[in-house]
Amino acid sequence: MNRKETTHFGFQEIPIEEKAHKVAEVFHSVASRYDLMNDLMSFGMHRLWKRFLIELGGIRPGMKILDVASGTGDLARSFSDLIGNNGHIILADINSSMLTQGRERLINLGKVENPSYVQANAECLPFPANYFDRVTIAFGLRNVTRKEVALRSMYQVLKPGGQLLILEFSKPASWLTPLYDVYSFQLLPRLGKLVTGDADSYRYLVESIRRHPDQESLQRLIQSTGFDHCDFYNLSHGIVALHKGYKY
């Protein structure tokens, strides 16, 4: 008898084919209050983390950029200004509610010239090979069922010389861990319940962070999928890390 392949959903082990659906339920639930919760639970720091990614990315006019797990479009808004009318930014997200939030937000901001929107799974990106100058993913990789498959898909659609940028929660410094655990496991679900009416989704958020590879492990995984000159930068004492890699 063949044993069914499983993966983690937070601290649970579930059949691998169920994860995408369960993650989708989480983000359908919180989409309308997602930006507010990001500001509250990070004390606004997520804006600085994303700004660091944008600065490190060396975005120039005319570039083609793919923002995977684009959410409500924070990165895309800044990319749109930097690439100009001759560039192109595609927001891709597996979750229709998040993609709708991102599209409405950018339209309200007057960003109608260069963004496109595609509902897509990071593991099988429906774009031409060697097409994008940059591929970015911010706080989305930990929700992907098969990270190595997604990374290979991102590698395929990048141009030679193109850059991958991953912003994700990571492993904080040891002196910070006890306080971080109290905040994460005790306060965040309560905040999620208060603001969104959904404590379980933010409990999953915390658990998914703990199950995500640490800085060195993720760097090795990125390298193993073909990327070169890989490096990472710890932000806020390692609570978040920015990883980068190049396709040559």
List, as residue ranges, the binding site for S-adenosyl-L-methionine: 72, 93, 121-122
Task: HSE, CB side, 13 Å, CA atoms: give it for residue 212.
Answer: 25
End-to-end alpha carbon distance in the chain: 44
In this structure, what DSSP letter does residue 43 have? T
For residues 215 and 177, give the distance between their C-alpha atoms in angstroms, rounded to a whole number. 15
For residues 178 and 240, give the distance between their C-alpha atoms in angstroms, rounded to a whole number. 16
Q: Which positions ≥6 away from 110 have C-beta within 8 Å?
A: none
Residue 236 phi/psi, 5° resolution?
50, 50
Annotated binding residues, written as ranges, equal 72, 93, 121-122
